[in-house]
């Protein structure tokens, strides 16, 4: 009985093996028929083999490209930080307040692969090294003099330290930063005169120095900043006349020198032919400017806001000012103007507000727009 069961199992196993062999032969024949191609001269080629080789070649090429990309990424991410910049930032680290030091961990401001870059520090790869291109450490309660070591960051494009407690002067070495585009030091306690070397910042586009304690004259070297578009120097203690050379700045859109101790006639500012071609906003309020309004103001065809309140300006309002096509806000209040307001101002298509109180105009003169008090001394929102 046992022998019969064994024979049956052997027979079943043999059938299973033969069936498997048959399936293998069929698969081989199918692949042969699929892969073997007659060339027409009695020869056959294995096209499947060629496909396999092509696939291997493609996979190898893909792998090589992946490795190359990873090597490039590794090179960018872990390139060495320029020693000059490392030294400068670590010097600054010793001088600034605890809030900044707490977030500046390690010795490498650009990060060392383990520790991240320092807060407010942006680096970029230049050649074989990483350099600091942005230093943005604002509202950090930084105290003490302006860190002179900053002037060693020669690749800096943005320096933003507004709303801190910096004191002392801006060092003349600031002129080294030839790539600087934005310099924002507003809302500090910086003092003394602006160094003329600031005129060496040939790439500077945005200059914010408002709400400090600067004094002395506005340096005429600012006229060398040919890329300058926004100049904010309001709420300081500047004296003397506004340099007429500023009128040569072809790209200047916004000039705010309000709330200082500036003197002279506004006519002097416009004595250069073709001055201020791009100017949109002019704020000279709360100074000691005298004289009348020049007809040359009408040449500022892009002007939208003219703010001359709280000066000592005299004379009549020239009708030519009403021809400024884009003028929307005209602030002439609290001066010594007299006479009448030309009718053209009341017909101006874009003029929304004209403030004239506190002058010696005739009694029939009326203002334009809502007669309300505006607080526009800090005009940074217009940027």
199-230 confidence digits (pLDDT tens):
999 999 999 999 999 999 999 999 999 999 99
Nearest alpha carbon to residue 265 among 250, 248, 244, 286: 244
Nearest alpha carbon to residue 354 among 341, 366, 367: 367
Nearest alpha carbon to residue 229 among 245, 198, 209, 206: 206
Beta bridge partners of 192: 214
Q: Classify 24 as helix, strand or coil.
A: helix
Give backbone dihedrals phi and psi of 45, rounded to 5 degrees, phi first.
-120, 150
Tens of pLDDT along 266-278? 999 999 999 999 9
pLDDT at residue 180 greater than cutoff 90: yes
Structure tokens at 87: 């030294």
- Name the E strands within 120-274: 121-126, 129-136, 143-145, 158-160, 165-167, 182-184, 191-192, 206-208, 213-217, 230-232, 237-240, 254-256, 261-265
- Name the E strands within 67-221: 80-81, 121-126, 129-136, 143-145, 158-160, 165-167, 182-184, 191-192, 206-208, 213-217
pLDDT at residue 11 greater than cutoff 80: no
- How does residue 358 score in pLDDT terms, banded at 50, 70 and 90? very high
Q: What is the mean pLDDT of residues 37-66?
A: 54
Tens of pLDDT along 266-325? 999 999 999 999 999 999 999 999 999 999 999 999 999 999 999 999 999 999 999 999
Place of tokens 């507004």: 162
* This prediction's pTM: 0.77
Q: Classify 331 as helix, strand or coil.
A: strand
How far apart are the C-alpha atoms of 34 and 51, rounded to whole Å? 12
How far apart are the C-alpha atoms of 226 and 228, rounded to whole Å? 6
Q: Rounded to 5, what percent of the chain is helix, strand, coil?
A: 35, 20, 45
Q: What is the mean pLDDT of residues 173-198?
A: 98
Burial 264-280 (b: 16+ CB within 10 A, else e): bbbbebbeeeebbeebb
Residue 169 vs residues 39, 139, 149, 183, 355: alpha-carbon distances, Å: 88, 19, 14, 15, 37
């Amino acid at each position: 009985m046992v022998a019969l069961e064994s024979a049956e199992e052997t027979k079943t196993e043999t059938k299973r093996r033969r069936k498997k062999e048959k399936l293998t032969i069929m698969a081989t024949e199918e692949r042969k028929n699929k892969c073997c191609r007659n060339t027409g001269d009695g020869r056959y080629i294995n096209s499947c083999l060629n496909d396999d080789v092509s696939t291997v070649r493609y996979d190898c090429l893909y792998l090589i490209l992946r490795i190359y990309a990873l090597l490039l990424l590794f090179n960018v991410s872990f390139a060495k930080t320029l020693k000059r910049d490392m030294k400068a930032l670590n010097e600054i680290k010793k001088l600034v307040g605890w809030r900044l030091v707490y977030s500046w961990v390690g010795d490498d401001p650009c990060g060392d692969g383990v520790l991240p870059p320092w807060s407010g520090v942006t680096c970029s790869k230049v050649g074989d090294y990483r350099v600091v291109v942005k230093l943005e450490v604002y509202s950090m309660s930084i105290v003490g003099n302006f860190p002179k070591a900053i002037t060693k960051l020669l690749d800096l494009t943005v320096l933003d330290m507004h709303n801190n407690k910096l004191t002392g002067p801006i060092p003349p070495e600031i002129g080294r930063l030839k790539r600087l585009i934005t310099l924002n030091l507003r809302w500090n306690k910086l003092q003394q005169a602006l160094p003329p070397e600031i005129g060496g910042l040939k790439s500077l586009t945005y200059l914010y120095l408002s709400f400090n304690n600067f004094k002395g004259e506005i340096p005429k070297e600012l006229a060398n900043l040919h890329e300058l578009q926004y100049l904010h120097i309001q709420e300081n203690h500047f004296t003397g006349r506004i340099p007429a050379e500023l009128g040569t700045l072809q790209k200047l859109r916004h000039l705010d020198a309000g709330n200082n101790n500036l003197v002279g006639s506004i006519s002097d500012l416009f004595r250069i032919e073709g001055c201020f071609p791009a100017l949109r906003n002019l704020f000279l309020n709360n100074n000691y400017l005298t004289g009348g309004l020049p007809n040359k103001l009408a040449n500022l065809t892009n002007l939208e806001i003219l703010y001359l309140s709280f000066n000592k300006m005299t004379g009549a309002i020239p009708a030519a000012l009403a021809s400024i096509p884009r003028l929307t806000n005209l602030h002439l209040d609290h001066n010594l103007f007299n006479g009448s307001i030309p009718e053209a101002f009341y017909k101006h298509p874009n003029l929304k507000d004209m403030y004239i109180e506190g002058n010696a105009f005739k009694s029939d003169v009326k203002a334009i727009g809502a007669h309300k008090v505006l607080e526009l001394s800090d005009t940074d929102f217009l940027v």
